[in-house]
Amino acid sequence: MTDTQPTHTSGSPSLENLLHETRSFPPSAEFAAQANAQPALYDDAKADRLEFWAEQARDLVSWHTPFTETLDWSGAPVARWFADGRLNAAYNAVDRHVEAGLGDRVALHFEGEPGDTRTVTYADLQREVSRAANALAALGVTAGDRVVIYLPMLVESVVAMLACARIGAPHSVVFGGFSADALRSRIADAQASLVITADGGYRRGAASALKPAVDEALAPREGEPETTVRHVLVVQRTDQEVAWTEGRDLWWHEALESADTFHEPVWVEAEHPLFILYTSGTTGKPKGILHTTGGYLTQAAYTHKNVFDLKPETDVYWCTADIGWVTGHSYVVYGPLLNGATQVIYEGTPDTPHRGRWWELVQKYNVSILYTAPTAIRTCMKWGEDIPARFDLSSLRVLGSVGEPINPEAWMWYRRVIGGDEAPIVDTWWQTETGAIMISPLPGVTATKPGSAQVPLPGIVAEVVDDEAHAVPNGGGGYLVLSEPWPSMLRGIWGDLERYRDTYWARFEGLYFAGDGAKKDEDGDIWLLGRVDDVMNVSGHRLSTTEIESALVSHDIVAEAAVVGASDETTGQAVVAFVILRGEHAHRASDAESAAQVQEELRAHVAKEIGPIAKPRKILVVAELPKTRSGKIMRRLLRDVAENRAVGDATTLADSSVMELIAAGLAAPS
């Protein structure tokens, strides 16, 4: 493929900092000629949007009963797509490829952190998923029952999700890095009847335990209702000692051993729930985002095919996301498998046993499409480009980014060092709620710009609006909204329809409010600017300030807490907490040493309550917090402090001396 030189776009965006970026990389003629996506895709979608989606649904998904109706929006904001069709997600991801004679194609190249490997073909996957489905059924799990999956990145994790889908039991995957308490509240909210976990997994060169967190999450607690969980299936990964509850706990391998390899998929309605995935909102309570089957699968497959230009016969695809996040759902499990892709899944961290592990894997498996997050790219930048330079990365032909805005430096580094100055980068904007990619360049069609997700995909209608819901002109900024329903949109918040309306549909009449700030450049391309609510984005993971504040305040010594996301070179944002100690404990922060102790104690407490990723990078003990007269904490001012800036306008503070007090306190030993 020929190299493409950057050209400069017309017009100079008058927007601050990153919008001074004017480089643009048109696709090479060769890439464009072979691309799955052609410019006509936009025209087709514009000509008849609903018919366009119906075509995608018919082309990319196999229906047991074909649908006749495309969209029913009469119950807005709860959409029904392809509602009279019936299908099965696992059949679409696995069986139909085997039936098409592709059973020998590798579905998964699994690489364990210690270096153990496993190659799983589509035929293998069909046997495993069928067995697992029979095992779940034998445990009494039926269509509609919820199953919580709490696993590391293993072949069994993919099998478990598909087995649930095969019997019509919605799965709720809880990220393995979350604590027992986080797991407990999600199990309770979903009223799950089964948990699938492992003894442990390998992380940073050691076996780390998972099962104890499940035991703790299920233990009876005074004043709380008894758990709905009847069984725990345990995958044996590390051979660690595990506590065992007779009658409740079963080994995964034993349950599967005795199960039949044939299983007839349960054909469900298109609107049957496929999964619930919990994500942080602006209040402390995580939201169970509900996705259903037909529309979700359609958009997952469509985006995976066109945004990554997947050629299933020749490509090797690798998405580095964990199945605990939505990216792992749509772009490790459903999108790639529906499209019959061959992919790599990796259990461990990028720096174990060395900092070149990812690039070694790209070389080993000839990965051609890589999908990862800006925080990972920035970490690799920090480690130095001599590390990837030691490996042959010439197989890479498409690079993807997701999770947070990618800054132009990281984008350029990704393109040059990883993509050999050739591979197109697709910066994909979407959310747990949107289910699949919404805004992204199309490789081979779009001239890409470093730092911008650019354009809504064909079939998607997005806008940037001001406070009054008016579309802003090119060059202007405001809030990102989605103006038309899309197939993979959430169908609500589990058990809380009111919260669904309030969170997404109350801000602007008839428009989906994404919670992200955005600007349009002079070409009308969209630049995402981060969250406008109190949700932080740390290494591409959504964390709520409120949730961390409540975790801090639940510690005996803390009276009050305020949490902000301070910009951080590597992780995008870092959690910084300001705490006021209870009077009787105030002395504990009087010298540097004890303040450091307090900080460590509270960090550990947050890790226990929520999980290690929520641990504040810094905890500052203060005497007061800046509040408005109505009692709202002015996080903006705290962010100034956290980012070492001069403190901004503090005139709306109830007590204007507070910021001086905080600044003085920080100058003193901490």
By the criterion CB under 6 A, which residues form the site for ligand 6R9? 279, 325-327, 402-405, 427-432, 453, 514-516, 528, 531, 537, 540, 542
Residue 38 annotated as part of some ligand binding site: no
- Least distance to ligand 6R9, CB of residue 145, Å: 25
Q: Which is nearer to ligand 6R9, 234 or 307 (CB)?
A: 307
Residue 432 annotated as part of some ligand binding site: yes
Q: Which is nearer to ligand 6R9, 113 or 534 (CB)?
A: 534
Residues 6+ apart with CB under 8 A from 543: 280, 535, 536, 537, 565, 575, 610, 613, 614
Q: Which is nearer to ligand 6R9, 227 or 432 (CB)?
A: 432
Residue 403 annotated as part of some ligand binding site: yes
Q: Which is nearer to ligand 6R9, 193 or 431 (CB)?
A: 431
Q: Which is nearer to ligand 6R9, 269 or 516 (CB)?
A: 516
> Would you state the structure tokens that stand for residue 256, as one six-digit string?
């599967």
Q: Which is nearer to ligand 6R9, 94 or 410 (CB)?
A: 410
- Least distance to ligand 6R9, CB of residue 279, Å: 5
Q: CA nearest 132: which of 262, 16, 248?
A: 262
- Least distance to ligand 6R9, CB of residue 456, Å: 13
- Least distance to ligand 6R9, CB of residue 327, Å: 5
Dist. CA 70–CA 84, nearest whole Å: 9
Decide: 562 and 577 in contact? Cβ < 8 Å.
Answer: yes
Q: For 193, phi and psi rounded to 5 degrees? A: -105, -15
Residue 475 annotated as part of some ligand binding site: no
Q: Which is nearer to ligand 6R9, 167 or 173 (CB)?
A: 173
- Least distance to ligand 6R9, CB of residue 535, Å: 7
Tally Cβ neighbours within 10 Å of residue 180.
19
> Would you state the structure tokens that stand for residue 620, as one six-digit string?
């500052």
* Relative orientation angle of helices 180-190 and 592-609, to the nearest 10 degrees: 30
- Least distance to ligand 6R9, CB of residue 175, Å: 11
Residue 405 annotated as part of some ligand binding site: yes
Q: Which residue has the tokens 């605990």?
A: 324
Residue 427 annotated as part of some ligand binding site: yes
Dist. CA 167–CA 652, nearest whole Å: 56
Residues 6+ apart with CB under 8 A from 5: none
Taking CA 21 as the corner, what is the angle to CA 446 and CA 443, rounded to the nearest 5 degrees? 15
- Least distance to ligand 6R9, CB of residue 320, Å: 13
Residue 204 annotated as part of some ligand binding site: yes
Q: Which is nearer to ligand 6R9, 293 or 432 (CB)?
A: 432
Residue 553 annotated as part of some ligand binding site: yes
DSSP 601-669: HHHHHHHHHT-GGG--SEEEE-S---BBTT--B-HHHHHHHHTT------TTBSSTTHHHHHHHHHHS-
- Least distance to ligand 6R9, CB of residue 403, Å: 4
Q: CA nearest 151: which of 138, 141, 160, 142?
A: 160
Residue 631 annotated as part of some ligand binding site: no
Phi-psi region of 524 (alpha: psi -120 to 50; beta: other; left: phi over 0): left
Residue 459 annotated as part of some ligand binding site: no
Binding residues for CoA: 203-206, 327, 539
Binding residues for Mg(2+): 553, 555, 558
Binding residues: 203-206, 327, 403-405, 427-432, 516, 531, 539, 542, 553, 555, 558
